[in-house]
């Protein structure tokens, strides 16, 4: 019995694929003007879909610049998500609650919440947005 359990464990361990080689992505190579921003947002934004270049990934990692007056519209999350402010100011909304965010501030947003964010003031709002995918991509 112990021998068969050990054999099953060895087979499972042997089936683990080796790690993929790292992928290095430069912002300039993935920069896209996206006007309007996603989820029925308003204004002008610059998107950097940094993780799109990584095959076999299981999460998204993006940078977005919301230019003055811009917003990402309200949308219901199908996963947890993090907004991290690099520079500028913004107001994040989650299920009717709003919070002003500035540099070095993160909002952890939960699956099922109705969320969005808008830029405030004269300086563009620079965000990092990260969230898991439902599955590993090919």
How high does pLDDT run on average in the chain? 91
**Predicted TM-score (pTM) of this structure:** 0.84
Per-residue confidence (pLDDT) for residue 12, from 0 to 100: 57
List, for residues 77-87, the tens digit of each pLDDT value: 999 999 999 99
How is residue 112 annotated by DSSP? Answer: T
Q: Which CATH number is correct for 25-132, 3.40.50.620, 3.20.20.70, 2.60.120.10, 3.90.110.10?
A: 2.60.120.10
Burial 91-116 (b: 16+ CB within 10 A, else e): ebbbeeeeeebeeeeebebeeebebb
E strand intervals along the chain = 31-34, 45-48, 59-66, 71-76, 81-87, 89-94, 97-101, 105-109, 114-120, 125-132
Per-residue confidence (pLDDT) for residue 9, from 0 to 100: 52
3-class DSSP assignment, residue 8? helix
List, for residues 23-77, the tens digit of each pLDDT value: 999 999 999 999 999 999 999 999 999 999 999 999 999 999 999 999 999 999 9
Per-residue confidence (pLDDT) for residue 67, from 0 to 100: 98
Spans of all domains in the chain: 25-132
Q: Number of helices and strands (H, E) in the chain?
A: 2, 10
Cα–Cα distance measured from residue 83 to residue 131, given in angstroms and rounded to the nearest whole number: 9
Residue among 45, 50, 60, 52 nearest 28 (CA)? 50
Segment 108-128 mean pLDDT: 98
Q: Would you say residue 111 has pLDDT above 60?
A: yes
């Amino acid at each position: 019995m112990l021998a068969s359990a050990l054999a099953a464990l060895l087979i499972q361990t042997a089936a683990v694929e080796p790690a993929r080689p790292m992928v290095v992505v430069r912002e300039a190579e993935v920069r896209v003007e996206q006007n309007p921003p996603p989820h029925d947002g308003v204004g002008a934004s610059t998107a950097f879909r940094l993780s799109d270049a990584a095959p076999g990934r299981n999460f998204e990692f993006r940078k977005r610049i919301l230019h003055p007056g811009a917003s990402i519209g309200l949308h219901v999350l199908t996963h947890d998500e993090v907004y991290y402010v690099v520079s500028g100011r913004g107001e994040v909304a989650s299920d009717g609650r709003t919070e002003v965010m500035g540099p070095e501030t993160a909002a952890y947003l939960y699956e099922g919440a109705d969320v969005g964010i808008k830029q405030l003031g004269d300086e563009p709002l620079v965000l990092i947005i990260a969230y898991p995918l439902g599955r590993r991509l090919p």
